[in-house]
């Protein structure tokens, strides 16, 4: 599909910079450049940079010295004829050149319109187009890796492969099964069951990767919890390497949640210090404890802190009960002071033999903090890097469609397991699943969906 109009935008961020880049895409891109650029080369050889001036044809006055490049249709980002103008990065200069492009008949691009055209012209599928935004937004090494692999087509290839396998089953249902006698039919349905089970397992695997994919995009949330005065805020400060939270010897110092981001194990980690969990004495403390509980429920990992100088209590057991089902670390702080109980006694208090402790002296010992960070990194690797390298689902849109597909496959399998399978209904389910696949990759076009996706892009992307 070739657009009839030519769009223009400044593709670099607003503000001052060494250079700025303006982009044009559409059939008049080259003609617009020629109208403004001098000296005019005999021909703008594609992908060659030309040094010259942009002039205002109305006044004849120079606007800026620039580098310009023309890209031929089929080989550009949008697959249309494209031009890039690299000018100096001032607000006035870029604004003036953009205005000249518009005066020459270009239209101001909508948010994400270059990528939208790349999608409409088959240069990218929808999953890849979405990953362009992910590359730009990536806040950690791991997030960037996943986004770049997705832009290169890792997830798209997997989805297309699954869709084709599904389509083959659907075709078999619609054509062959009608013609088969009883015996042949039961053989065919059992073969189909095996294939659909394998497809369902693949879809489940992709859905399993979502927990990890989401944390890559949003970052991991780690919460410090424990009874008052055990040293949670001191640990937060030590982990961050600066005095972020207030520390005093008075129990109940922290009342609200204090959180900060930290790069750990290639991931963006939000680490939160909370109010100590106790039987609250006053209403403010009560609210603080309720908030701690809320954060603990939403956390990806929990660090429970105890005080070396105090025996574990029923409150500790209660805190442990609430976090033990999720990834957690148990820290015994104030190890520089004499212990109230032995390690063995502390372990027995929590019962399971698997419990192990990290000992720290938050304010005194840097090597303890390094060890704690190492333990956190190990836990991140163990819990959130299972899918490293494999196609991963990071977007809610993808997850929801995959859940639809999963449902269709489950229902198909149940139908096939019946004594007289209702093959029409199986075909119906597989047809639904196929549509969901096409919606995922964008081969089934939905203008409203495209509007929503590209509205989140910036102009010029």
Ligand X SMILES: Nc1nc2c(ncn2[C@@H]2O[C@H](COP(=O)(O)OP(=O)(O)OP(=O)(O)O)[C@@H](O)[C@H]2O)c(=O)[nH]1
Cα 342 to Cα 311: distance, rounded to the nearest angstrom: 9
Q: How far is the CB of 283 from Mg ion (least distance, A)?
A: 19
Q: How far is the CB of 374 from Mg ion (least distance, A)?
A: 24
- Residue of 461, 451, 442, 399 lying closest to 128 (CA atoms): 442
- Residue of 171, 155, 190, 163 lying closest to 408 (CA atoms): 163
> Any contact of residue 288 with ligand X (CB under 6 A)?
no
Alpha carbon of 178 to those of 158, 188, 349: distances in Å?
A: 31, 11, 66
Q: Which residues, numbered 23-62, are part of the site for ligand X (CB under 6 A)?
A: none
Residue 430, Cα to own-chain centre: how many angstroms?
Answer: 29
In the bound state with ligand X, the residue whose beta carbon lies nearer, of 220 and 306, is 306
Q: Which residue is nearest to ligand X (CB)?
A: 276
- From the list ligand X, Mg ion, none, partner contacted by residue 228 (C-beta under 5 to 8 A by kind): ligand X
Q: How far is the CB of 113 from ligand X (least distance, A)?
A: 50
Identify which range of 133-141, 250-258, 378-386, 388-396 contacts ligand X by CB under 6 A. 250-258
- From the list ligand X, Mg ion, none, partner contacted by residue 333 (C-beta under 5 to 8 A by kind): ligand X
In the bound state with ligand X, the residue whose beta carbon lies nearer, of 255 and 434, is 255
Among residues 53, 337, 396, 400, the one that binds ligand X under rule CB under 6 A: 337
In the bound state with Mg ion, the residue whose beta carbon lies nearer, of 213 and 226, is 226
* DSSP symbols for 180-224: --HHHHHHHHHHHHHHHHHHHHHHHHHHHHHHHHHHHHH-EEEEE
Contacts made by residues 232-235, CB under 8 angstroms, sequence distance 24+: 232/273, 232/274, 232/276, 232/305, 233/258, 233/273, 234/333, 234/362, 234/363, 235/273, 235/303, 235/305, 235/331, 235/333, 235/360, 235/362, 235/369, 235/372
Among residues 28, 232, 347, 434, the one that binds ligand X under rule CB under 6 A: 232
Size of the site for Mg ion (CB under 5 A): 4
- From the list ligand X, Mg ion, none, partner contacted by residue 234 (C-beta under 5 to 8 A by kind): ligand X
Site pattern 341..380 for ligand X (x: CB under 6 A)? --------------------xxx-----------------
- From the list ligand X, Mg ion, none, partner contacted by residue 265 (C-beta under 5 to 8 A by kind): none
> Any contact of residue 234 with ligand X (CB under 6 A)?
yes
Alpha carbon of 111 to those of 2, 10, 231, 454: distances in Å?
A: 19, 11, 48, 6
Q: How far is the CB of 303 from ligand X (least distance, A)?
A: 11
* Omega of the bond leading into 357 within 30 degrees of 0 (cis): no
Alpha carbon of 377 to those of 157, 208, 267, 311, 442: distances in Å?
A: 31, 21, 9, 29, 37
- From the list ligand X, Mg ion, none, partner contacted by residue 251 (C-beta under 5 to 8 A by kind): ligand X
Q: How far is the CB of 244 from ligand X (least distance, A)?
A: 11
In the bound state with Mg ion, the residue whose beta carbon lies nearer, of 53 and 246, is 246
Location of structure tokens 């004499």: 338
Contacts made by residues 133-141, CB under 8 angstroms, sequence distance 24+: 133/456, 133/457, 133/461, 134/217, 134/394, 136/461, 137/217, 139/219, 139/268, 140/216, 140/219, 140/263, 140/266, 140/267, 140/268, 141/266
Among residues 12, 156, 189, 254, the one that binds Mg ion under rule CB under 5 A: 254
- From the list ligand X, Mg ion, none, partner contacted by residue 104 (C-beta under 5 to 8 A by kind): none
In the bound state with ligand X, the residue whose beta carbon lies nearer, of 29 and 233, is 233
In the bound state with ligand X, the residue whose beta carbon lies nearer, of 271 and 426, is 271
Among residues 233, 268, 292, 412, the one that binds Mg ion under rule CB under 5 A: 233
Q: Which residues, numbered 256-285, are part of the site for ligand X (CB under 6 A)?
A: 276
- From the list Mg ion, ligand X, none, partner contacted by residue 443 (C-beta under 5 to 8 A by kind): none
- Asked if 163 and 437 touch (Cβ cutoff 8 Å), the reply is yes
Residues that bind ligand X (CB under 6 A): 228-234, 247-249, 251-254, 276, 333-334, 336-337, 361-363
Residues that bind Mg ion (CB under 5 A): 232-233, 253-254
């Amino acid at each position: 599909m070739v657009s009839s109009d030519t769009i223009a935008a400044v593709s670099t961020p607003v503000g001052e910079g060494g250079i700025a880049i303006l982009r044009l895409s559409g059939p008049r891109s080259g003609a617009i450049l020629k109208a403004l650029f001098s000296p005019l080369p005999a021909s703008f050889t594609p992908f060659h940079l030309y040094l010259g001036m942009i002039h205002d044809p109305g006044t004849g006055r120079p606007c800026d010295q620039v580098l310009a490049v023309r890209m031929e249709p089929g080989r550009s980002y949008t697959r249309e004829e494209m031009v890039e103008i690299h000018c100096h990065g001032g607000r006035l200069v870029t604004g003036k050149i953009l205005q000249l492009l518009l005066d020459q008949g270009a239209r101001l691009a909508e948010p994400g319109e270059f990528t939208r055209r790349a999608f409409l012209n088959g240069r990218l599928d929808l999953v890849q187009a979405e990953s362009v935004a992910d590359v730009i937004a990536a806040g950690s090494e791991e997030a960037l890796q996943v986004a770049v692999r997705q832009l290169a087509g890792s997830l798209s290839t997997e989805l297309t492969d699954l869709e084709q396998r599904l389509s083959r089953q659907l075709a078999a249902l619609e054509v062959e099964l009608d013609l088969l006698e009883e015996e042949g039919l039961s053989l065919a349905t059992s073969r189909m069951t095996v294939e659909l089970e394998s497809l369902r397992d693949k879809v489940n695997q992709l859905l399993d990767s979502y927990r990890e994919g989401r944390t890559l995009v949003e970052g991991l949330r780690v919460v410090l919890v424990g009874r008052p005065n055990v040293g949670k805020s001191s640990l937060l400060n030590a982990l961050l390497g600066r005095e972020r939270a207030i520390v005093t010897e008075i129990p109940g110092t922290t009342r609200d949640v204090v959180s900060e981001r930290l790069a750990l194990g290639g991931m963006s980690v939000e680490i939160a210090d909370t109010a100590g969990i106790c039987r609250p004495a006053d209403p403010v403390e009560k609210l603080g404890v309720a908030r701690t509980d809320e954060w603990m429920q939403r956390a990806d990992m929990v660090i429970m802190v105890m005080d070396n100088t105090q025996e574990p209590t029923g409150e500790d057991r209660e805190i442990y009960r609430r976090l033990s089902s999720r990834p957690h670390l148990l820290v015994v702080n104030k190890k520089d002071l004499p212990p109230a109980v032995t390690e063995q006694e502390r372990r027995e208090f929590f019962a399971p033999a698997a419990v192990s402790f990290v000992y720290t002296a938050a304010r005194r010992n840097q090597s303890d903090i390094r060890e704690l960070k190492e333990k956190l990194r190990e836990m991140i690797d163990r819990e959130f890097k299972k899918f490293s390298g494999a196609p991963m689902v990071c977007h809610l849109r993808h997850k929801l469609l995959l859940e639809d597909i999963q449902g269709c496959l489950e229902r198909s399998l149940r139908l096939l397991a019946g004594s007289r399978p209702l093959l029409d209904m199986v075909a119906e389910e597989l047809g639904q699943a196929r549509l969901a696949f096409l919606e995922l990759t964008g081969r089934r076009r939905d203008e409203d969906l495209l509007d929503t996706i590209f509205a989140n892009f910036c102009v010029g992307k």
